[in-house]
Amino acid sequence: MKTDVNDSPAMPATVRTRLDIGFGTREQWCLAPATFTDETLKIAGHPVMERWEGSYMGRLAGIASAAGGSVLEVGFGMGISATALLADERVKSYTVIECHPGVATRALAMLDAEMARMRARLMVGFWEEVTPLLAAASFDGILFDTYPLTEADIHQNHFAFFPEAFRLLRSGGFLTYYSDEATGFSREHLDRLWGAGFTDVKFDVCELDTPADCEYWMSDTMIAPIVRKP
């Protein structure tokens, strides 16, 4: 577990890949079909998630559930982290926010049994629209993993969520997220966390089995943030 600063810029090849595919509007994103295979999720030509992320998502789930209680996940994806969170008996309630109708439909199917038990709920929409409906200090853990929908969001779409995460977490609760950084926090990353009110900021370096043809990540490590609300 470390707190080092990494001032290296985002990997340009992964930026170019997304720009080559192109970004539309949010409405176009939601209208594009979500294409699932056993190994991948693609939307509007973008590789949103792949199965090789499993061990990393499992680590994020472990961080988000560390305090037990109520856990919020933002972005359902392939449901890898949701499965890990709901397998943890310390998690008493699970809420997921998902903006894409096709992914939300898959989430409904995967969460059916837990929703029947009133242990899980799904909220459909972009987090910016949904989280204001949620009470402050209502979660013990948050896992954030959404896909960047604009050029400006590439490798830093989690930054804008930090103030809202601070509001939603109970004292002692944990925030974690798909970090898009290989070995440490950038200075901007730390500044955004500190500016949101987080002072207990650490991370683990996770080893990855990244495929050589992956379009959105090109390192064999990624940090798993361990961010705790005072």
Write out pLDDT tens, residues 137-195: 999 999 999 999 999 999 999 999 999 999 999 999 999 999 999 999 999 999 999 99
Q: Which of 9-18, 96-105, 136-145 is the least confident region?
A: 9-18
CA-to-CA dists, residue 103 to 66, 161, 178, 223, angstroms = 26, 21, 18, 26
pTM exceeds 0.75, yes or no: yes
**Mean pLDDT for the chain overall:** 95
Establish if 55 belongs to a structural domain. Answer: yes
> Is 3 a member of any domain?
no
Take residue 174 and report the two structure tokens written for it. Answer: 């944990």
Given phi > 0 = left and psi -120 to 50 = alpha, else beta, which region is 75? left
Record the tokens describing residue 129, joined without a space: 């629209």
DSSP state of 47: E
Tell me the pLDDT tens digit for each residue of 17-51.
999 999 999 999 999 999 999 999 999 999 999 99
Share of the chain above pLDDT 90, in %: 93
Domain assignment present for residue 215? The answer is yes
pLDDT band at 1 (very low <50, low <70, confident <90, very high): low
Structure-derived torsion over alpha carbons of residues 114, 117, 119, 120, reported in degrees to the nearest 10:
50
Beta carbons of 100 and 42 less than 8 angstroms apart: no
Q: How many domains does the chain have?
A: 1
Structural domain span for residue 121: 12-228
- Determine the pLDDT at residue 35: 98
> What CATH code is carried by the domain that includes residue 88?
3.40.50.150
Cβ neighbours for 30, distance < 8 A, ≥ 6 positions apart: 99, 100, 101
* Distance separating alpha carbons of residues 222 and 144, to the nearest angstrom: 15
Per-residue confidence at 8, pLDDT binned at 50, 70, 90? Answer: very low
Is residue 12 predicted with pLDDT exceeding 90? Answer: no
- Note whether residue 124 is domain-resident: yes
Whether residue 1 lies inside any domain: the answer is no
Which residues lie below 8 Å from residue 153, measured CB to CB, with a gap of 6+? Answer: none
**pLDDT above 90 (res 2):** no
Q: Is residue 181, in this structure, part of any structural domain at all?
A: yes
Each residue of 31-64: b (16+ CB within 10 Å) or e?
ebebebeeeebbbbebbbbbeebbebbbbbbbbb
